[in-house]
Amino acid sequence: MTNTSDTKANEAEGRRSFLPAFINLRDAGTLFGLALILIVFAVLNPVFMTAPNVLNILQQSSINACIALGMTFVIISGGIDLSVGPAAAISAVAGAALMTAGVPLPVALLGAMGTGMLCGLFNGCLIAFAGLQPFIVTLGGLSLYRALALIFTGGNPIFGIPTEFRAFINGDLLGVPVPVVIVGLIALLLWIVLNRTPFGEYILAVGGNQEAARIAGVPVARTRITVYVMSGGLAAVAALILMGRLGAADPTMGNLWELDAIAAAAIGGASLMGGKGSVVGTLLGAVILGSLRNGLTLMNVQAFYQLLATGIIIIVAMLIDRATRGRA
């Protein structure tokens, strides 16, 4: 029995060595799923695989990807962050209020980021110090931050976002939309954090076995709080991107973002039990969801059926995940 598991593990290691270093076996599976979806749509619709549409998909996916990356870190640590949508909204509102008040743009951007991170800090402290469950704390945050955004704005969007900011977000770098570049750079940074820094190891250890990690000297509370701060900060980045595109900060922004983000992370291989997850996988997961929506829209499929397809994709992805993991 040990022999067979040995050979399987060796096979897995062998196969891994054929792939680039930053993609593991699980990510290769996600990539395969994405390729399948792309091929199906490419056959069904000639417009789908054109360069403008591909950039369009990436741009549409970038906001969810940004949120989902933060969610991935939280999920790996063994938690969940349901408050990302409202945290995004309150960050957008704060940023817009600062911009319209004539505060220099960089300061306003930092203000927005700080607001999101503060939301995360609040979540994280309640979870790490008060010992409350992440699901409940961030469910509370979901209402709390939304309410604050609505109260602050009286429920009305804030217009008058500076044109230079809007131009920046809607611009491109060597043909690639700026939001895609931003999220790409963030993903690169986060990949390094997760795979190359002690903090990354701490997150994986805390999510894998919190008590063992504590006994091994991992700063558990600090690690757990930091992932929520990251999640809040990334929610703010997503909010700024959307704000730049819309030209307004809407306090109702980000409704149900948490669910898309969880879906992308889970499709990408993050385990809601904690201890597992991948930056590359989550990016691919976000692009899978984005491609699906884009492709179905191109084919004039009703929104109701798009929802149906999304649900099916998530469940199928999880079934495949379960079946393949059972072997390891």
Q: Take residue 307 and report the two structure tokens written for it.
A: 């929802």
- Nearest distance, CB of residue 77 and another protein, angstroms: 12
Among 70, 275, 281, 295, contact with another protein (rule: CB under 8 A): 275
Which one, 218 or 239, has the nearer CB to another protein? Answer: 218
Among 46, 52, 106, 211, contact with another protein (rule: CB under 8 A): 211
Among 7, 50, 133, 197, contact with another protein (rule: CB under 8 A): 197
Q: Take residue 136 and report the two structure tokens written for it.
A: 């409940």
Report which of 180, 174, 161, 159 is spatially closest to residue 61, judged by C-alpha positions: 180
The reply to whether 204 sits near another protein by the rule CB under 8 A is yes
Which one, 56 or 201, has the nearer CB to another protein? Answer: 201
The reply to whether 188 sits near another protein by the rule CB under 8 A is no
Of the listed pieces 129-137, 158-166, 197-205, 258-266, which binds another protein according to CB under 8 A?
197-205
The reply to whether 276 sits near another protein by the rule CB under 8 A is yes
The reply to whether 202 sits near another protein by the rule CB under 8 A is yes
Place of tokens 């699980």: 26
Q: What is the DSSP code (8-state) at residue 218? A: -
The reply to whether 166 sits near another protein by the rule CB under 8 A is no
Measured CA to CA, the distance from residue 28 to residue 16 in angstroms comes to 9
The reply to whether 215 sits near another protein by the rule CB under 8 A is yes
The reply to whether 13 sits near another protein by the rule CB under 8 A is yes
The reply to whether 218 sits near another protein by the rule CB under 8 A is yes
Intra-chain end-to-end CA distance of the chain, in Å: 13
CB 227 within 8 A of CB 203: yes
Of the listed pieces 41-49, 137-145, 196-204, 292-300, which binds another protein according to CB under 8 A?
196-204
Measured CA to CA, the distance from residue 317 to residue 300 in angstroms comes to 24
Q: Where are the beta strands (DSSP E) in the chain?
A: 172-173, 176-177
The reply to whether 6 sits near another protein by the rule CB under 8 A is yes
- Nearest distance, CB of residue 147 and another protein, angstroms: 34
Place of tokens 């989550």: 282
Report which of 88, 89, 47, 91 is spatially closest to residue 68, judged by C-alpha positions: 88
Measured CA to CA, the distance from residue 326 to residue 222 in angstroms comes to 33
Which one, 212 or 319, has the nearer CB to another protein? Answer: 212
Which one, 101 or 323, has the nearer CB to another protein? Answer: 323
Of the listed pieces 106-114, 135-143, 199-207, 302-310, which binds another protein according to CB under 8 A?
199-207
CB 95 within 8 A of CB 115: yes
Question: Dihedral of CA 2/7/11/13: which sign?
Answer: positive
Element (H, E) at 323: helix 303-325
Place of tokens 């749509």: 41
Interaction site with another protein (CB under 8 A): 2, 5-6, 9, 13, 192, 196-198, 200-202, 204-205, 208-209, 211-219, 275-276
